[in-house]
Chain A
Amino acid sequence: MTLALLVLALAAADPCAPVEPAGAPDPSAATAYRAVAEEELARGAFGAAIVAYRAALASDPADDHSRRALHGLCVAPPAPEDSLQQGLHLMDAGDYREAIEAFRAARAAGPSPSTALLQGICHYELGEDTEATELLREAEAYAPHRGEARYYLGLVALRAGAGAEAASLFESARGNPSLERAASDLARLARQDGRVVVSLLAESGWDSNVNLAPTGEPGLTPESDGVWALTGSVLLRPRGSSGPFLRASGLLHEPLRLGAFEVRGLDGAVGWQFRGRGGQLITEYDYGSRSFGGKPYVSAHRLLASGWLRAGGVALGATYLARFESYASAWSRFDGVLQRAEVRAAASPVRALRVAVAYGLGRDDTNDVALRYTEHGPRAELRVSAGSWRFGLDGALSLRSYDGYDAVLQAVRRDTYLDASAYAEWDLSSGWAARFSLDGRRAMSNVPALEYERVVPSVGIAYVRGF
């Protein structure tokens, strides 16, 4: 994207390719070109000298002097301009360390904002933010490169957890038309980033089946109700986006009439986020508790590890969690250890679109053998951004097989869950967004009493802000 455009803009054709004659030999033109070549050579401008020698040879293929000089330039150690080209090729190939050496050699001949910008980008890619900042500041002083320099300075600030500074840099980089879209998206993300991040979501909607009752089965009828929900979290990252973090969060999900289905929860988490070149790893410990219908329901210790790596244009990720669950006495059959793992791949085939596919595997080892199960299935995500709107579409299929015979149900359960959700978010002002969502589930089972459908449309308002 931006980097590729920059490299393309600065790259040039192979200066040492065979020279094609321009037409009838013109020795006088060749003489003029050769004179210019020698002047450029004397100034240390090897690139222009090569161009002029090539023009001399094209004008007069018998010009042995130009031929020898051109050959000499092509086999000589890289001149500053050649070092720039060499650096560009290395950078394009992802060899940032070697590219830095080439750019350093090019810069030794004199200050060059373009080379400073490219070398700064290489340092950024290697996570060497101090060196990157110094060079990007140098490039920023040259107006034609200001947009690109501020874009990368914004990325450096974002990595350091300086969300406000990053947002300001991205905003100013928007002046460059080729960066406007990406800088605009990053400015929004940067405002939501920082060493302290606060998020709130207030929603209200309607739940078609609060009690998860089957349709058409005797004895139990689906109960619909209005619902409202409030979730919030505070994230502390004293060393920015790479380093330790603490998180506290809470949720409240309350039906308007059916108070027995009210859910409340609190979580506290501590972890470490490692961000490196082209990848990220998060490890986390979380303790959470939930109440259900106003009574204690479950408390759990959760260990989680999640990471992703960029491979070409695809981000490959994996997540594993183990949740040690302890239920209130009325639910103690569910006590045990729940484990889930997922692998996923995400890509952006076009700038405003991101697609991800994942496959998950889960295992719930409850104390009661009849409730133990293994489940697996695919999941897909689609994300689209268009100006101040963002849209998302998710779908998942879970195939769950229980281990043992359930004496109450008189069956060994086999369930299938089909989940789908869609949402639209509209940025209202700095940090605030309106949210419209539609969630749905269809549960299928070999036990008819456990089959149900549920649809939950809701509207809400979200606030995310980094400090």
Chain B
Amino acid sequence: MNALAAFACALTLSTNGAGEEHLVSGAAHFREGRYAEALVEFRVAEKLGVRQASAYSGASLVKLERFEEAIEAFGSKDGAARDALIDYYRALACYGARLYVCADETLVRIGERSGPKLAGLAATIRADVAAKLAMEPTPVALQWYATRCAQRRSEGRAILAQAYCAEASALAKRSPPKAEGDPAGTSKTASGDRP
């Protein structure tokens, strides 16, 4: 069974309450690749009080390449549900929004909770993320994340702002120490001193 079919089945089995019909309808659209329709149904289910519908909206948003909104739909990292497939979509959302540390941390969490197919997909993305994280973050990149954080905060999008700030912080820790008087981090020697 592929990951998408598993997702649709998981949805079908987990339905209950007033939004059930919309959740099932959204799953059917998702399975057929009609992601905008799936999103609308999941959003309606959310409004009707189906708690897990938000995560499914997130998966639809990933498919629609609306990565930032997907991150918001999945909610804060700490309060995340712990379904391996939802975590996979969350990781894709992070990846699409260039939040590579976020993607990596989410993929690590999938670990042994998934089947071999999903584990394979996760491993592929993780290898890709590892390649990106292996590159030393440039000051320009760090500034980009910090600016994004400030922008999203000013727009009242706290979850996103927190995600960008956390990424900036995590990437900064990966940067080599800068030499005194070298704010641009241009030193080339191992000790960080100018030659």
* A contact residues vs B (CB 8 Å cutoff): 9, 12, 29, 32-33, 35-37, 39-40, 43, 45, 47-48, 51-52, 55, 112-114, 142-143
Contacts and interface: CB of A to CB of B under 8 A. Distances in A.
Interface of B: 22, 33-34, 36-37, 39-41, 43-44, 47-48, 64-66, 69, 95-96, 124-125, 128
24 contacts: A9-B33, A12-B36, A29-B44, A32-B22, A32-B44, A32-B48, A36-B44, A37-B40, A40-B40, A43-B69, A45-B64, A45-B66, A47-B36, A48-B36, A48-B39, A51-B36, A51-B37, A52-B40, A52-B43, A55-B37, A55-B40, A55-B41, A112-B65, A114-B65
Contacts, number: 47
Given A36-B40, A45-B66, A52-B43, 16 more contacts: A12-B34, A12-B36, A29-B44, A33-B40, A36-B43, A36-B47, A39-B43, A40-B40, A40-B43, A45-B64, A47-B36, A52-B40, A55-B37, A55-B40, A112-B65, A143-B95
A45 B57 CA distance: 14
A35 to B, nearest CB: 6
Contacts of A143: 95, 124-125, 128
B81 to A, nearest CB: 22
A37 B36 CA distance: 11
A142 B96 contact: yes
A47 B66 CA distance: 12
A113 B47 contact: no
Contacts of A12: 34, 36
Nearest to B25: A55
Contacts of A55: 37, 40-41, 44
A114 B35 CA distance: 14
Contacts of A35: 47
> Do most interface residues of chain A lie in helix, strand or loop, or is the interface mixed?
helix
Contacts of A43: 69
A52 B125 CA distance: 33
A143 B65 CA distance: 12
B64 A48 contact: yes
Given A32-B44, A143-B124, A143-B125, A113 B39 contact: no
Contacts of B40: 33, 36-37, 40, 48, 51-52, 55
A80 to B, nearest CB: 11
A39 B47 CA distance: 12
Nearest to B63: A144
A12 B33 CA distance: 10
Nearest to B68: A110
A29 B25 CA distance: 13
**Which 3 residue pairs spanning A and B have beta carbons closest together?**
A36-B43, A52-B40, A48-B36
A40 B33 CA distance: 19
A369 B141 CA distance: 80
A113 B44 contact: no
Contacts of A37: 40
